[in-house]
Amino acid sequence: MKKKFGGLARRMSTQFVAFSCGNYFPFLRWVDVVTGLMGSLKESFNEFDSFLERVIEEHKKAAESNDQDHEQADKDFVDILLRLQKDGMLDVELTQENIKAILVSRIEVIDIDQMDYFKCVIKETLRLHPPAVLIPRATSKNSVKLGGYDIPPNTNVHINAWAIQRDPKLWDRPEEFIPERFENNPVDFRGQEFHLIPFGGGRRGCPGSTFGLFAIEYMLSNLLYWFDWKLPENGANVEDMDMTEAFAIAVHKKIPLTVDHAICVTELGEDVEEMVEEIRDCFENGGDEVGLGEMFTMSNHIGSKRALG
């Protein structure tokens, strides 16, 4: 099953980046039909739909067989949805199509905008570990006096962003990871507050900072949404983790972080009613806006054990 899913994900991720005349020139949409692009996309979507059907059917058969191993195992999200469908615990009908839509839903931009603490975590991470430790700049055509030093015109200087963002004169307990310091704090990455400059500042700040930050938020939020992460079961713990940095074009961990992951599962228990309310709100307030996301494009890049730099 996993092998089939991986092959399908790789094929679809390749198809999504293929050149489509219809995307740029709608009147030439017929070209995509002639080249076979539309046909291959429809075939892949149908195959993916069949894959979801097979996943649901396998869970149904396991539940109906009263298999003791299945009963003792952790119930994943598919089992929960099927139980809700069978018991009629929702005020709205939970159809097979609804279940498939929920299975491939993902974190969207509108969701990230509401994750205030998540954004604080990213800010604190970039404060402690800026991607560029030293930011090269050149002085103006006029000599300046700064900090008691005379700096000639057109001098190449390097701004130590790492030191600034750990300066005890600017930050309380600067060596500690405290995301809460950014709660109700207007400081951002725009470069106007020059004690937080992971992307530089002023008119020469990184032009790709907005896109880079969005990529971090989108990727990390979906990884946390879809997987349970933990350190390998070899005695490793968070306190002993080596955070030594290696310097290149962008800073990264000297020793790659190796973690185990598993698809997020939820055990049926006392929190079922709370879960039911969340799903009910999803259908009653979101309606058919439950999106069919491309979760598989992410899964294509994740192995059974992943080393994250």
In whole angstroms, what is the distance from residue 26 CA to residue 49 CA? 27
Locate 87 and state its tokens: 């018991």
206 assigned ligand-binding residue: yes
In whole angstroms, what is the distance from residue 120 CA to residue 203 CA? 25
Length of the chain: 309
Q: Whose CA is closest to 221, among 301, 293, 122? A: 122
For tokens 């494009």, name the residue: 297
Residue 28 contacts residue 22 (beta carbons within 8 Å): yes
Which residues touch 179 (CB under 8 Å, ≥6 apart)? Answer: 117, 120, 121, 123, 124
| Angstrom distances, CA of residue 276 to CA of 84, 269, 307 | 8, 12, 36
Question: How crowded is residue 146: how many other Cβ atoms within 10 Å of its Cβ?
Answer: 9
Q: Decide: helix, strand or coil at residue 265.
A: strand
Locate 157 and state its tokens: 């200087």
In whole angstroms, what is the distance from residue 107 CA to residue 225 CA? 7
Q: What is the dihedral of CA 173, 177, 182, 188, to 10 degrees?
A: 100
Residue list, annotated binding site for heme: 206
Residue list, annotated binding site: 206
